[in-house]
Amino acid sequence: EHGLHVHEYGDMRGHCSSAGRIFNPYQMAHGGRQSAVRRLGDFGNVREDAEGNIFQTFEIPNTSIIGPLTIVGKALVIKSGPDSLGAGGMPLGAPGGGSGYPAGCCVIG
Protein backbone atom coordinates (compact mmCIF):
# COMPACT_ATOMS: atom_id res chain seq x y z
CA GLU A 1 0.00 0.00 0.00
CA HIS A 2 0.97 3.60 -0.60
CA GLY A 3 -0.30 6.76 1.09
CA LEU A 4 -2.00 9.23 -1.27
CA HIS A 5 -2.24 12.92 -0.42
CA VAL A 6 -3.06 16.28 -1.95
CA HIS A 7 -0.42 18.85 -0.98
CA GLU A 8 -0.75 22.64 -0.79
CA TYR A 9 1.15 23.61 -3.94
CA GLY A 10 1.46 22.27 -7.46
CA ASP A 11 5.25 22.60 -7.32
CA MET A 12 7.07 19.47 -8.43
CA ARG A 13 10.62 20.72 -7.88
CA GLY A 14 12.95 18.61 -5.76
CA HIS A 15 11.08 15.35 -6.45
CA CYS A 16 7.88 16.79 -4.94
CA SER A 17 9.61 18.31 -1.91
CA SER A 18 8.37 21.80 -2.87
CA ALA A 19 4.69 20.80 -2.80
CA GLY A 20 4.23 22.00 0.79
CA ARG A 21 2.32 20.22 3.52
CA ILE A 22 -0.79 18.09 3.11
CA PHE A 23 -3.73 20.34 2.15
CA ASN A 24 -5.42 21.21 5.44
CA PRO A 25 -7.35 24.52 5.29
CA TYR A 26 -9.40 23.67 8.41
CA GLN A 27 -6.39 22.59 10.52
CA MET A 28 -7.87 19.15 11.17
CA ALA A 29 -6.15 16.05 12.53
CA HIS A 30 -4.76 13.31 10.29
CA GLY A 31 -7.18 10.61 9.09
CA GLY A 32 -8.20 8.40 6.18
CA ARG A 33 -10.41 9.39 3.24
CA GLN A 34 -13.58 8.19 5.02
CA SER A 35 -12.64 9.42 8.51
CA ALA A 36 -15.03 11.86 10.20
CA VAL A 37 -12.01 14.02 11.10
CA ARG A 38 -9.33 14.36 8.42
CA ARG A 39 -7.30 16.88 6.49
CA LEU A 40 -8.89 17.61 3.11
CA GLY A 41 -5.72 16.27 1.49
CA ASP A 42 -5.85 12.89 3.25
CA PHE A 43 -6.77 10.44 0.48
CA GLY A 44 -5.93 7.21 2.33
CA ASN A 45 -4.02 4.31 0.80
CA VAL A 46 -3.93 2.80 -2.68
CA ARG A 47 -2.61 -0.58 -3.85
CA GLU A 48 -0.56 -1.38 -6.90
CA ASP A 49 -0.92 -4.47 -9.06
CA ALA A 50 1.89 -6.90 -9.98
CA GLU A 51 3.09 -4.52 -12.73
CA GLY A 52 3.20 -1.51 -10.40
CA ASN A 53 0.02 0.10 -11.77
CA ILE A 54 -2.71 1.58 -9.61
CA PHE A 55 -6.30 1.46 -10.88
CA GLN A 56 -8.66 2.51 -8.12
CA THR A 57 -11.87 4.51 -7.93
CA PHE A 58 -13.17 6.11 -4.74
CA GLU A 59 -15.08 9.14 -3.51
CA ILE A 60 -13.42 11.74 -1.31
CA PRO A 61 -15.92 13.48 1.02
CA ASN A 62 -15.82 17.28 1.27
CA THR A 63 -13.28 17.62 -1.55
CA SER A 64 -13.98 19.67 -4.66
CA ILE A 65 -12.52 20.62 -8.02
CA ILE A 66 -14.37 23.96 -7.94
CA GLY A 67 -14.74 26.79 -5.45
CA PRO A 68 -12.42 28.36 -2.89
CA LEU A 69 -11.16 25.01 -1.54
CA THR A 70 -10.47 23.44 -4.93
CA ILE A 71 -7.76 20.81 -5.22
CA VAL A 72 -7.10 21.80 -8.86
CA GLY A 73 -3.57 23.17 -9.22
CA LYS A 74 -2.33 21.34 -6.13
CA ALA A 75 0.03 18.37 -6.04
CA LEU A 76 -1.19 14.77 -5.83
CA VAL A 77 1.60 12.83 -4.11
CA ILE A 78 1.91 9.06 -3.78
CA LYS A 79 4.16 7.94 -0.93
CA SER A 80 6.64 5.07 -0.70
CA GLY A 81 4.73 3.30 2.08
CA PRO A 82 1.30 3.00 3.69
CA ASP A 83 -0.40 5.84 5.55
CA SER A 84 -1.35 5.18 9.19
CA LEU A 85 -4.75 6.86 8.55
CA GLY A 86 -4.55 8.58 11.92
CA ALA A 87 -3.86 5.39 13.88
CA GLY A 88 -0.70 3.61 14.88
CA GLY A 89 0.72 6.13 17.32
CA MET A 90 1.75 8.74 14.78
CA PRO A 91 1.58 12.31 16.13
CA LEU A 92 -1.35 14.38 14.87
CA GLY A 93 1.01 16.63 12.99
CA ALA A 94 2.88 13.77 11.30
CA PRO A 95 3.59 15.13 7.80
CA GLY A 96 2.45 12.10 5.83
CA GLY A 97 1.04 9.67 8.38
CA GLY A 98 4.35 7.82 8.46
CA SER A 99 3.97 6.90 4.79
CA GLY A 100 7.53 7.68 3.81
CA TYR A 101 8.96 9.75 1.00
CA PRO A 102 7.24 10.77 -2.24
CA ALA A 103 7.39 7.97 -4.82
CA GLY A 104 5.77 10.17 -7.45
CA CYS A 105 3.65 13.25 -7.92
CA CYS A 106 1.69 15.30 -10.42
CA VAL A 107 -0.33 18.50 -10.54
CA ILE A 108 -4.10 18.05 -10.45
CA GLY A 109 -5.55 19.81 -13.44
DSSP 21-79: SBP-TT-PPP--TT-SS--TTEEEEE---TTS--------TT-BSSSTTB-TTSEEEEE
CA 103 vs. chain centroid, Å, equals: 12
Please write the tens of the pLDDT for every residue from 49-92.
999 999 999 988 888 999 999 999 999 999 999 999 987 655 54
Q: How many domains does the chain have?
A: 1
Please work out, in degrees rounded to the nearest 5, the angle formed at the alpha carbon of residue 84 by the alpha carbons of 49 and 68: 90
pLDDT, mean of residues 22-45? 93
Q: For residue 89, what are the domain limits? A: 1-109
Supply the pTM of this predicted model. 0.88
pLDDT, mean of residues 13-41? 93
CB burial string 54-68: b at 16+ within 10 A, e below: eeeeeebeebeeeee
Instruction: Report the alpha-carbon distance of residue 51 to residue 103 in Å, rounded.
Output: 15
Q: What is the CATH number of the domain that holds 107?
A: 2.60.40.200
